[in-house]
């Protein structure tokens, strides 16, 4: 299968290019093209003639999107919508940020009523709706916060274990709320689950690790596994991005829970 990969030099896309190279004929979208003119992207689609488009490119920094809403809209709504209209099967990443604004602690299913409270979440929600209107067979993956470690030349971005390690080394304090609920996923587990996700029927799917713990408990468990002791400040503010992944599981997409998966990640990294 010939797959065009957007964001091939980014956090997710670079790992797709390395980890799935033997399974698909992967064609990276030229660097910088996804941030520019959608027409140039469409010309590249016409040139490559892929069987599928795997869209990993995005502006995912929530603070940056809040400050630059027009740029966020172009990247997170206009571009994926243009890709959806090509007629090529589209698999694209959305985000758990669509759940911002919902309270409680119960894991949320894909049909939860959404009223995202930040620009990034609002744009991802609009993208989902408009893409599925244009291409009902598109697969949209609501991803959790993801992490990886350095060591093999692939790009990194801010993530929970790195934040904990840096805080421990610098003697800094990090705060986590006992009423903040979300899954955290090793990006390589996400990439390994992509072949199954690419076979899913069109629709929206929660994609990543579930997590029965709050973020205060999660941070403590991660510290135990890493054998570090940063200063952790207990906070008390509400957010629920925890996702129910039963729908994706029925399609063969299976993740361990957040702490189990992190334990497996650290063990594998120690033996690399």
Tell me the per-residue pLDDT of 58-114, one tens digit each, with 9 for 90 and over. 999 999 999 999 999 999 999 999 999 999 999 999 999 999 999 899 999 999 999
Element (H, E) at 184: strand 184-186
What's the token pair of residue 189?
A: 């587990």
Helix locations, the chain, DSSP H: 11-19, 38-48, 62-67, 69-73, 79-84, 119-134, 160-170, 187-197, 215-226, 246-250, 258-270
Percentages (nearest 5) of helix, strand, coil residues in the chain: 45, 20, 35
Residue 211: band (very low, low, confident or very high) from pLDDT cuts 50, 70, 90: very high
Q: Domain extents for the chain? A: 2-148+184-209+244-252
Residue 33: band (very low, low, confident or very high) from pLDDT cuts 50, 70, 90: confident
Show Cβ contacts of residue 159 under 8 Å, excluding neighbours closer than 6 positions. Answer: 145, 146, 147, 148
Q: Is 53 helix (H, G, I), strand (E, B) or coil?
A: strand
Closest CA to 59 of 79, 41, 44, 45: 79
CA distance 185 to 146: 5
Q: Is 254 helix (H, G, I), strand (E, B) or coil?
A: coil
Looking at residue 37, its pLDDT comes to 78
CA distance 206 to 264: 21
Tell me the per-residue pLDDT of 130-171, one tens digit each, with 9 for 90 and over. 999 999 999 999 999 999 997 788 999 889 999 999 999 999
> How far is residue 94 from each of residues 153, 173, 205, 262, 268, measured CA to CA in Å?
26, 31, 9, 22, 28
Fold annotation for 2-148+184-209+244-252 = Rossmann fold (3.40.50)
Helix locations, 85-186, DSSP H: 119-134, 160-170
Q: Are 159 and 146 in contact (CB under 8 A)?
A: yes
Looking at residue 110, its pLDDT comes to 98
Q: Are 60 and 38 in contact (CB under 8 A)?
A: no
CA distance 127 to 121: 10
- Asked if residue 217 has pLDDT above 70, the reply is yes
β-strand pairing of 203-207 with 145-147? unpaired
Q: Is 149 helix (H, G, I), strand (E, B) or coil?
A: coil
Tell me the per-residue pLDDT of 50-69, one tens digit each, with 9 for 90 and over. 999 999 999 999 999 999 99
């Amino acid at each position: 299968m010939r797959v065009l990969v957007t964001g091939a030099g980014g956090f997710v896309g670079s790992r797709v290019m390395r980890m799935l190279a033997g399974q698909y004929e992967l064609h990276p979208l030229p660097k910088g093209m996804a941030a520019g003119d959608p027409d140039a992207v469409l010309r590249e689609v016409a040139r490559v003639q892929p069987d599928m488009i795997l869209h990993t490119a995005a502006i995912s920094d929530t603070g940056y999107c809040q400050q630059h809403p027009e740029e966020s809209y172009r990247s997170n709504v206009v571009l994926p919508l243009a890709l959806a209209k090509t007629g090529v099967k589209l698999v694209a990443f959305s985000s758990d940020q669509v759940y911002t604004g919902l309270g409680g602690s119960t894991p949320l299913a894909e049909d939860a009523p959404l009223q995202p409270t930040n620009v990034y979440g609002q744009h991802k929600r609009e993208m989902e709706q408009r893409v599925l209107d244009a291409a009902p067979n598109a697969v949209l993956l609501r991803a959790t916060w993801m992490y990886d470690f350095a060591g093999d030349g692939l790009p990194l971005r801010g993530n929970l274990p790195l934040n904990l390690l840096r805080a421990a080394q610098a003697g800094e304090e990090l705060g986590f709320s006992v009423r903040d609920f979300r899954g955290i996923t090793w990006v390589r587990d996400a990439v390994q689950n992509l072949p199954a996700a690419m076979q899913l029927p069109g629709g929206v799917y929660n994609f990543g690790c579930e997590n029965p713990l709050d973020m205060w408990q999660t941070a403590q468990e991660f510290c135990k596994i890493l054998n570090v002791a940063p200063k952790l400040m207990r906070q008390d503010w509400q957010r629920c991005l925890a996702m129910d992944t039963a729908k994706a599981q029925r399609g063969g997409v299976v993740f361990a829970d957040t702490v189990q998966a992190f334990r497996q990640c650290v063990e594998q990294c120690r033996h690399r």
